A and B are shown apart, each in its own frame.
Chain A
């Protein structure tokens, strides 16, 4: 049976100034998909995530998230950014980072409630970082930072989880752990992630799209290796082709 559509892109184009970043991108994400968007750096992957989150608006085309314009689904959609974007010296513990997943525009209590702390505890437990609750976030290894940010994203029980290069700077054993954890969450949560590297991704996801200004969706993983014949990447196929020699 077909699952309901949660995110849809309909002929979406995006220009950053005069630079065309995305052209006529059309795809849809269905409930409980594990969707990977692969492409080279500067190919527009992160732009797609930012469009989904409503941080930027498309130049043309239409995007809907749960049938609405993006940016209005605060509790339903959660995002895991690249941890390297955070100040390493910021005074914050793992638990506090996770609790920030519960921040609201109208919470005027300086302290967190028991209920909120319990939720953060559950999320940390799921990600296996409960014993690090009081560690300083900036002191953690890349893999643990990533887990902390995933915990922050799931603490508010979102229906969609977006991840930006979740394994960009972790070693391959950690990478596999993180994917297995995501696969487990995927039983309940729709996951969209972007990556410049195919790596293990293909064995975990159920849908892959490739983006480099234009977007090509691949129904199955096997099709990935036929990319060159698509001529979709006109001249830029080499990287994708090379990486998918799985």
Chain B
């Protein structure tokens, strides 16, 4: 059965499309803020450290999804404080948290008795295993990302461009910055389901970086990123369904290829 016939037949594929759409909405927004603030490393740190929370949740018998949300938010606040307060070696501290969070997760999962947890599902995601209840949870997270970013859109932009100017106008820059990282953290959790923690960084950087080549405003980059992320995910789904390849990796390579071509075209046209 070809992809489009399968899409109208199988509910797991329909769920995958909805999940891809929710991921596109969240990462179009968050990825743009990651891009303009140049904080790929912080986003990557949150994404990898989340495995610690997932592992702990599995070990203590909670929902891994809830564990991911809580850990992502904790790391967003921690990394935000480090970024704002640290005078030196901020990257070392972030790198350490990145690696230690991940290691804690691996150990917790290893120690969990009986029930064999498939680590791969968290590391590489599996958009084809997204259930109806997952969709509900992802919708709530995506809605939060959109709502908070819409309400604080100006403050996010102002703090990203010129923290001191924002501060001078009464904006609490540190709080706004941490709120922005929290939005990014929630997006990490959404993306965990779709592409997995290891590939979160691809979704957080490539669509926004590609859009930034063609758009000169933050709002424009967000809109184009949303569209690109969705198109990348769909083409990834199509390729992986048709040739039976791992979805997250295919989506990432499609995004990377489009980014490289766009970059090349813009360099050649200048």
Give me the interface of A with B, judged by CB distance under 8 Å: 53, 55, 74, 77-79, 81, 85-87, 90-93, 96-97, 100-105, 107-110, 134, 136, 152, 156
Contacts and interface: CB of A to CB of B under 8 A. Distances in A.
Chain A interface mostly:
loop
Nearest to A137: B161
B216 interface: yes
A153 B245 CA distance: 55
Interface in B52-98: none
Nearest to B211: A91
A156 B169 CA distance: 10
A105 B151 CA distance: 11
Interface in B152-207: 152-155, 157-158, 160-162, 164-172
Contacts of A104: 169-171
A110 B146 CA distance: 11
Contact of A81 (B36, B162, B219, B220): B162
A107 B152 CA distance: 8
A90 B156 CA distance: 13
Contacts of A156: 169
Contact of A108 (B152, B165, B166, B170): B152
Given A91-B36, A100-B161, A110-B219, 7 more contacts: A79-B165, A91-B212, A92-B217, A96-B157, A104-B169, A104-B171, A105-B169
Interface in B212-262: 212, 215-221
A86 B216 CA distance: 16
Contacts of A74: 168-170
Chain B interface mostly:
helix
Contacts of B218: 91-92
A105 B155 contact: yes
Contacts of A110: 150-151, 153-154, 219
Interface in B15-63: 36, 38
B270 to A, nearest CB: 12
B171 A105 contact: yes
A52 B221 CA distance: 37
A86 B166 CA distance: 13
